[in-house]
Structure 1
């Protein structure tokens, strides 16, 4: 399988038509700061009541292309959510508006996560190790690009230790639900993604998923197909398990649709303690998904 087709299955590695990788930055940064759990922008009693009923939700990896969409969706639904973000750097914080509810933290440092997790009701994890392309690759000459991970930024440290730290911090904070976004392909140790930088990225992602499933915290694990930067809400979403969707032609899904599934998972009991693969039909085929309760009701797998 060509490199572009392989890497397109990873939610955090998008490949252009020329074959060159367009990568999100790894999730790192400095210590964040704390702010009050409940806020209201209006002095009206109705707004205060709505704020008191809203769930405080932290999305990590909020500076990434999918994370930005989730963060924005939380902000748009103030009657349901009080949104927070966690990013790797001050630069990423400014990229999504620089609000006081965006924390800067290194997910490999458990103590750095404490301020952002204080008082949260739910956590959406969108962090991932990101490979870099070795210099010198020329797509016009054919062949395949080579990738590497920077020291300290390997999947073991980011996708396993970093995500474990997030789960532990959320558990200490008394979180009621964790949504974890991963990648399809983890059932196959020989998946090409595991060979990128010889780092077994899907192996470490699955280890974090298992840790979450064993944590006792209500969870939803979403293993997304290849992510597309296209409009959401216009395709029929497909649910699978054990990478069965990789055997079909429906291996991709819009980032905006993944973001909406994350939000809906927080609202529906049918999504709790379930794991699912997520893809979609091409636009124009089938009916756009709007009944998420029915969608989650199709899921029977707990891991």
Structure 2
């Protein structure tokens, strides 16, 4: 095995809350992966260590991301538009906070055009597998997330997912439930389809578990050309998931 070369993986959105976890986990597996990150700003690059393998580019400008994508084997897409709360909201007075997206950073531009650009560049570069992390809720046009900042974020995410599924590139689409900033690796993970899990008590998942599933997806043929919803049972209910091949074998849906 002297000629074994680590698989070259690019994590886009590596400065985001889930992206940082994926990038860090991959960097710890130097025997398996040669990892790169893509961030939008120099400050984000510094935030995750400022290594030479972190590229700065804007997914809305396809030319700016080509250097990061050249020569990679796999791509994990974790870019997403981020709604911001309008200033002046007073929690003590009740009511609902209002949200907005910064100009040019609406879901249409980031989650649709930005992801389409990544898929196109990856396909042109001969990338062998694209893992796309999205959100549950895309089957419901009236989902509350769509109303945030009038962004229709799930609509645009779904459009990008469909584009990837139609691209011909081997893909894995992970539609995560509500994201929690809690310890990962200690819950039983659940896979589903068509937002069925949203009708259950188990519709959340930790960012750490999403990150782990994204990385595990690189290793198993069972999860190529598949799309699935991801959530978990509460802590101490069920058995923590360790056998990802078995988890992925439950998935039957291509989209």
Note if 1:296 corresponds to 2:254: no
Deviation at 1:218, TM superposition (A): 0.4
1:207 corresponding residue in structure 2 = 159
Q: Provide the rounded CA distance (Å) in 1 between the counterparts of 2:150 and 2:28.
A: 40
RMSD of aligned C-alpha atoms? 1.0
2:42 corresponding residue in structure 1 = 90
5+ residue gaps in structure 1?
1-44
For residues 212-227 of structure 1, the aligned pairs below 5 Å read 212-227=164-179
1:110 corresponding residue in structure 2 = 62
1:272 corresponding residue in structure 2 = 224
For residues 158-197 of structure 1, the aligned pairs below 5 Å read 158-197=110-149
TM-score under structure 1 normalisation? 0.83
Q: Provide the rounded CA distance (Å) in 1 between the counterparts of 2:28 and 2:189.
A: 22
Q: Provide the rounded CA distance (Å) in 1 between the counterparts of 2:28 and 2:104.
A: 36
Q: Which of 183, 186, 192 is equivalent to 1:231?
A: 183
Note if 1:250 corresponds to 2:180: no
TM-score under structure 2 normalisation? 0.98
Q: Provide the rounded CA distance (Å) in 2 between the counterparts of 1:66 and 1:55.
A: 21
2:31 corresponding residue in structure 1 = 79
Aligned residue for 2:214, secondary structure, equals helix
Aligned residue for 1:85, secondary structure, equals strand
For residues 15-94 of structure 1, the aligned pairs below 5 Å read 49-50=3-4, 52=5, 54-94=6-46
Note if 1:148 corresponds to 2:100: yes
Deviation at 1:297, TM superposition (A): 0.6
Instruction: Decide which structure has the larger Cα Rg and report it.
Output: 1
Deviation at 1:100, TM superposition (A): 0.3
Deviation at 1:199, TM superposition (A): 1.4
5+ residue gaps in structure 2?
none
Runs ≥4 residues deviating over 6 A: none
Q: Provide the rounded CA distance (Å) in 1 between the counterparts of 2:217 and 2:192.
A: 16
Deviation at 1:151, TM superposition (A): 1.3
State the Cα deviation string for residues 214-245 of structure 1 (Å, max 9, x = none).
00000000000111111111000000100000
Q: Provide the rounded CA distance (Å) in 2 between the counterparts of 1:256 and 1:195.
A: 27
1:10 corresponding residue in structure 2 = none
Deviation at 1:76, TM superposition (A): 1.0
State the Cα deviation string for residues 182-211 of structure 1 (Å, max 9, x = none).
000000000011111111100000000000
Deviation at 1:65, TM superposition (A): 1.2
State the Cα deviation string for residues 99-118 of structure 1 (Å, max 9, x = none).
00000001100100110001
